[in-house]
Chain A
């Protein structure tokens, strides 16, 4: 076969023995170009569209919530329906307690587990752990709530802040574990080998060299996990449950912010609905604030590393 026998593709015309660039004046080409522009524009539009609800929610919650958010709201206990004033200090304290319990349980386990996963990246158990962690993070929080209920509330026969903390700990565990593991893997090899070569034991290297080097990233992961846990209402329905008064006993039912928002929002009373907005504003400031702070820390760390190299 002689390739010199120039094939002419349909739609191309001969001009001076040369194939004209395909379809410069061709309907199909025009159509391809239009499709290209339209579809690429649509992807940009989709991105813009996704931002709209975020702005809508934050702006609306801020406008509604700020009307009722004041010092009393942060420091006082709720008043009975119809009595003006009052606040949600019980829920603020409750959220603090439940999240603190969750951190106390989840962080040590997650960090220790992360060392294992980072140390055994290719062993069957290491892969199983990472896989299990990913799967655990996909289990609905309501299912985790039921689990904590059957595990603690049912045998004890009463709701408690502790059971809520356990549920949130299970939610936080995979998030902290995976970020810590990723951060440990990012620690330069020579840092680790340098320590081991000096005769330090594996655990000393891990705790004294690796963990500090990865600490910034680990803290970011913990912040994101706290943001996630602090906003969870579903598991609280079966565990911490709620209270109308201030409670600091870990063994007693305790109000939390998200659960209080749910109760207030679904109530028929106008002043409770108003309070739901104010509580939602607090929660959204906390959660989005933690997210933004975590992102800023990540950015800062990346810049630091960039400057080092």
Chain B
């Protein structure tokens, strides 16, 4: 179903935006991550072109855009997961608290320990629920009672504790898709990262599970900096404080078109491309 007029289409986001506690946007905050002139190449193909954006601390930043425009690729440059694919190259800088994570002296393992990630499809380890959450803390040397406390707290923070407290020793794969994804969130926050990247975390989930994840993001916001890639513009309007709109340039490289407070992007975009996308005239 297509909206006939742009204004009608815009109104589709009104409720979503009303549900979004926007007060966060007006209060000032630190810049947690700063992407500067970032280019990313698969072989000779440039997938990301000259992206510059600031990611504010303790806020939810959504990255939206049509499929294939490099949203996920950009997200994966923020904790250097992009370099896992062979024949890729990253150019430019990504500052985390002012330090360039692509600096030669920067340890990629430490970067990822500080910048956690939740993936598109739930990917729990085929291990007990407890061991899934305990994996990260164990790497850091946590043992015994302290570990149990961390696991419990992480599962509580991920709003999963009540559902799994009696079956911590069952496989993580035995959970439903939505529960698995919350388990992955719990696993990610168990090492207390500073930033959590979420790559379309609800893409494989039903609406109820999606709702729970969104609730979760809103509660986690006060303690973490969250960056979420989403296809679902309603979702971006519901949960995010800031929105980045990406698009493809004529060379099919992803560029950042517009970045700003979510309300402004959805109701009063400055670039015609953004408006076209938001109103459904495009993509």
Contacts and interface: CB of A to CB of B under 8 A. Distances in A.
Interface of A: 1-4, 6-12, 18-19, 21-24, 28, 32-33
A216 to B, nearest CB: 28
A10 to B, nearest CB: 6
Nearest to B224: A3
Contacts of A22: 110, 113, 140, 191
Nearest to B191: A9
Interface in B107-126: 107, 109-110, 113-114
Contact of A32 (B139, B146, B189): B139
Nearest to B96: A21
A28 B107 CA distance: 15
Q: How large is the interface on B (under 10, 10 to 19, 20 to 34, 35 or more residues)?
A: 20 to 34
B194 A11 contact: no
A1 B223 contact: no
A272 B86 CA distance: 53
B153 interface: yes
Given A7-B150, A10-B146, A22-B110, A1 B141 contact: no
Nearest to B136: A9
B113 A3 contact: no
B220 A3 contact: yes
A69 B169 CA distance: 67
Nearest to A1: B156
A18 B99 CA distance: 15
B222 A3 contact: yes
B140 A23 contact: yes
Given A9-B191, A22-B140, A28-B141, A4 B222 contact: yes
B192 A9 contact: yes
B219 interface: yes
A215 B146 CA distance: 63
Nearest to A21: B110
Contacts of B56: none
A3 B223 contact: yes
Contacts of B114: 21
